[in-house]
Amino acid sequence: MAYRFLDSVAIADVAFEATGEDLAELFVAAGDATINTMIDSVDGILAKTSRKIQLSNGELDLLLFDFLQELIYYKDADGLLLRVPRVEIEEQGGEFKLIATGFGEEIDPTRHEQRADVKAVTLHQFKLEQTSEGWRCFVILDI
Amino acid sequence: MTIPAKVKQLSETLWEIAPSYKAGMKVPARIVGTRNLLESMDDAVFDQLTNVATLPGIVGYAYCMPDGHSGYGFPIGGVAATDPARGGVISPGGIGFDINCGMRLIRTNLTLEEVAPRIKELIDTLFELVPSGVGSRGALKISKPQFLELVEQGSRWCVRHGYGWPEDLELTEEVGCIEGADAASISKKAIDRGFNQVGTLGSGNHYLEVQVVRPENVFDSSLAARFGLNVPNQVVVMFHCGSRGFGHQVATDYLRLFLSVMRKKYGIEMRDRELACAPLHSPEGTDYFAAMKCALNMAFANRQIILHHVRKAFSRVFSRSAEELGMHMIYDVSHNTAKLERHLIDDRALEVLVHRKGAPRAFARGMEDLPPRYKDLGQPVIIGGSMETGSYLLLGSSEGQETFFSTAHGSGRRMSRTKARKIWQGDKLLRELKHRGIYVRTASLRGLAEEAGGAYKDIDEVVEATTRAGLSKPVARFVPIGNVKG
């Protein structure tokens, strides 16, 4: 897994760091980290249904913010746990565009061992940066 | 942890960081608490609180309550008032994503002796009737148009539709419906996330507890009697939850909007993007205020529907009506809000916007907005402790002016969730609690471990600090016998 939860950063919430060799990989990892905050095993999510995600933003870090927020939206609006295996990100005239499909299923308390509901992605210390190995982000989720 | 040198002690329970500490601080930052409580606060509290002190239009002091800990934007336990007539801002980060997260307390005429033998059945019934956990929904089936009515009308909508008693309204902050909520200011996404979640607990630190008032835990029996707490070992119900996905989305929507206009349109720079804000008297500020009020009402309605199901559960288990069981509300208080209130600032009465994030209002006797029956007493304040230690009913104090009549909201975390999970195991904790006479049902065993009593500050010490600081005084302490943990 290209993400790890960080101890003692957000005392009542959850902080994670995700990495990727490229941006797409980082987005996938950060998406899984967000879902993993809510249930114990993301591998236990079956691809029974899908949701198309299309976003655009002038700022790359806020595109990540919006992407994670989409996963939280579908968790409440449709009761869905979604994993996104692939994302496409491209820049067009100063706008970053993202196209992806989330695959998953409805939350099933008998099969998905729950952790904590994620209320929102916070912008507190929110960071997306390019490193010598690729990309890294730091995210605090409100739970 | 040692208290940083920048934090100067002013009295036994009051500490201050001067505006010279950080560029842009407009007022001093003040922390209420004993030395021991301040030592348990993480350093980020002081950093976040001094960021709050830079908000445009802030007046008086940026305050942190004794149960404070670091959050995002404001610390949890943060209180700050801005003057809208002088460019004062409204900031979603000063309210929290869970708008109108709050506490509700209900009494019964049952005693521990009657409830203890049935506690398993009772908690199991509550667990069944009040959905909890990740994405919980389905307690109230309503259409989206009905939901729009509900967010404008709050608990009134519920009582009109048969979910509660007329007296419940009087015993809810804002009479269960804040004026000025406008559904035109909320997004489709917010509606999608919230319309099927009314009457649900959620997760994290949200819970529903059956508690007992032992005679030794009544601090003032005549005061307690005014709240109907007058039987030894009387059983009460307390729960903690907010505006669910609806409020979370409202806060997210406006955080994004404020971020896009803050600098460009209003020339405001903040150190933390989570403190994104806009003048209250601006199109964006006005819209957020109206949308936030919808979330306030949604949370009041949420707790009202939960109360309806709590009454139903007790009625089912004890084969008596809720009326016969004396299941009257004591009060419902919010601890994540921003409200326009009149306060004395430098000896002048001013209308200010008071942000309270993880801090309830604690109005003194005689103040406006108190329920008529409590007018001569002061406002009841409900403080939730950890699942293991106990909770309190307090009363607002007339000495609370400086903190805009605000006090602590709980025991406050002292340990991160990941650290707690390394120390405690959910299934083991469940058994230990049962052995100690606390029957727990939870949607998440991992979440249970994160909420272990040891992860929190000492609730007694927090309450004692608010008393010594003159913010509130205790009426009674409650200990849990059963808990539905979200």
SS3 state of residue B324: coil
Nearest to B137 among A79, A114, A124 (CB): A79
As for the ipTM of the complex, it is 0.96
Say if B189 falls within a structural domain.
Answer: yes
Q: What is d(CA B89, CA A116) in angstroms, rounded to the nearest whole number?
A: 32
B335 closest CA partner among B45, B54, B74, B21: B74
Whether A12 has a pLDDT exceeding 90, the answer reads no
CATH number for B409: 3.90.1860.10
Say if B321 falls within a structural domain.
Answer: yes
B151 closest CA partner among B177, B121, B119: B177
For the record, the structure tokens of B189 come out as: 């996404």
Say if B1 falls within a structural domain.
Answer: no
Unique residue bearing structure tokens 């521990």: B112
CATH number for A73: 3.55.10.10
The end-to-end CA distance of chain A, in Å, is 22
Q: What is d(CA B270, CA A103) in angstroms, rounded to the nearest whole number?
A: 38
- Please state the φ and ψ torsions of residue B70, each to the nearest 5 degrees: -70, 145
Q: What is the β-pairing status of strands B102-111 and B89-90?
A: unpaired
- The pLDDT assigned to A1 comes to 61
| Sequence-ordered strand ranges (E) for B335-376 | 336-345, 348-357
Whether A10 has a pLDDT exceeding 80, the answer reads no
Whether A81 has a pLDDT exceeding 80, the answer reads yes
Set of chain A residues whose Cβ sits within 8 Å of the Cβ of B193: 73, 76-77
Say if B139 falls within a structural domain.
Answer: yes
Q: Which residue of B has its CA nearest to A14?
A: B417
Kindly state the average pLDDT of the residues A19-43. Answer: 97
Nearest to B446 among A6, A79, A115 (CB): A115
- CA distances, A50 to each of A32, A45, B190, B208 (Å): 15, 12, 21, 34
Average pLDDT, chain A: 95
- CA distances, B403 to each of A91, A108, B62, B99, B397 (Å): 49, 45, 9, 20, 11
Burial class from Cβ neighbours inside 10 Å (0-12, 13-18, 19+) for residue B239 reads: buried
Give the DSSP H/E element, type plus range, for residue B251.
helix B244-266
- Number of domains chain A contains: 1
Q: Are the Cβ atoms of B248 and A115 closer than 8 angstroms? A: no
Say if B2 falls within a structural domain.
Answer: no
Set of chain A residues whose Cβ sits within 8 Å of the Cβ of B98: 119, 142
Using N-to-C axis directions, what is the helix angle for A23-38 and A60-77, rounded to 10°?
30
Residue A74 near chain B (CB below 8 Å)? no
For the record, the structure tokens of A90 come out as: 């491209």
- Number of domains chain B contains: 1
Q: What is the DSSP string of B129-183?
A: HS--STT---SS---HHHHHHHHHHTHHHHHHTTSS-HHHHHTBGGGG--TT--G
Q: What is d(CA B370, CA B356) in angstroms, rounded to the nearest whole number?
A: 18
User: Bridge partners of B32?
Assistant: B14
The mean pLDDT values, 10 residues at a time, for chain B of 486 residues are: 93 98 97 96 95 98 96 96 98 97 98 98 98 92 97 98 98 98 98 97 94 97 97 97 98 97 97 96 98 98 98 98 98 98 93 98 96 97 90 97 96 87 92 94 90 91 97 97 94
- The pLDDT assigned to B95 comes to 98
Boundaries of domain holding B378: 8-485
Q: Are the Cβ atoms of A7 and B244 closer than 8 angstroms? A: no
- CA angle B194-B199-B201, nearest 5°? 90
Q: What is d(CA A67, CA A82) in angstroms, rounded to the nearest whole number?
A: 12
Q: What is the β-pairing status of strands B29-32 and B58-72?
A: parallel
Set of chain B residues whose Cβ sits within 8 Å of the Cβ of A105: none
Nearest to B72 among A72, A109, A140 (CB): A140
Q: What is the DSSP string of B47-72?
A: HHHHHHTTSTTEEEEEEEEEEEEEEE
Boundaries of domain holding A105: 3-142
Set of chain A residues whose Cβ sits within 8 Å of the Cβ of B189: 73, 77
Unique residue bearing structure tokens 């065993």: B445
Give the DSSP H/E element, type plus range, for residue B462.
helix B459-468
- CA angle B63-B69-B73, nearest 5°? 70
